[in-house]
Amino acid sequence: MSEICGHCLCGAVRFAYRGPELWRAYCHCESCRRQTGSPVTAFVGVARETASMSGDSLGIYRSSPGVRRSFCRTCGSPIAFEADRYPGEIHFYAAALDDPEAAAPQFHVHDAERLSWLSLADDLPRHPRSGT
């Protein structure tokens, strides 16, 4: 399988993964909304051993116990999410992929936290909490 790549806004941090994606999803949780400043975000979940991140401005923020959010210290772009509750996985922000069009979400998670004014016209499965 070919390598899938992405990067932050300024290009100082790059990431890549090989192998199949485990899943692709929209996340509506408050923590992701606050980190991205967006009403919803999209992730691609992959096996950690297939992934790499590089760049001297890579930062990690421990947003809550057992949760690590990677970002670019230069431009602030969020790059990835890792949590102890998802061992062996890393979740990359789909919009940071070189080709985000190829990463259409398959379902919604934390739909119980979805903002009432956000309406996404799709018929994807919706999980009130984490569905992965």
| CATH number of the domain bearing residue 90 | 2.170.150.70
In which domain, by residue range, is 105 found?
4-113
Residue 53 confidence class, pLDDT cut points 50, 70, 90: very high
Within 10 angstroms of residue 107's Cβ, the number of other Cβ atoms is: 16
Of the candidates 76, 72, 48, the one whose C-alpha atom is nearest the C-alpha of residue 59 is 72
In a domain, 106, yes or no: yes
Q: Is residue 24 part of a domain?
A: yes
- Assess if residue 130 is contained within a domain: no
Percent of the chain with pLDDT over 70: 98
| Number of independent structural domains in the chain | 1
Does residue 35 lie within any of the structural domains? yes
pLDDT band at 129 (very low <50, low <70, confident <90, very high): confident
Can you tell me the distance from the alpha carbon of 43 to that of 118, in angstroms, rounded to the nearest whole number? 18
Q: Which of 77, 125, 126, 127 is nearest to 97 (CA)?
A: 77
The answer to whether residue 22 sits within a structural domain is: yes
Average pLDDT over residues 67-90: 97
Q: Is residue 129 part of a domain?
A: no
Answer whether residue 118 is part of any domain. Answer: no
pLDDT greater than 60 at residue 132: no
User: Whole-prediction pTM value?
Assistant: 0.93
Q: Listing from the earlier edge strand, what are the strands of the sheet with 23-27?
A: 58-64, 67-72, 78-83, 89-93, 41-47, 23-27, 107-109
Chain mean pLDDT for the chain: 95
| Residue 120 covered by a domain | no
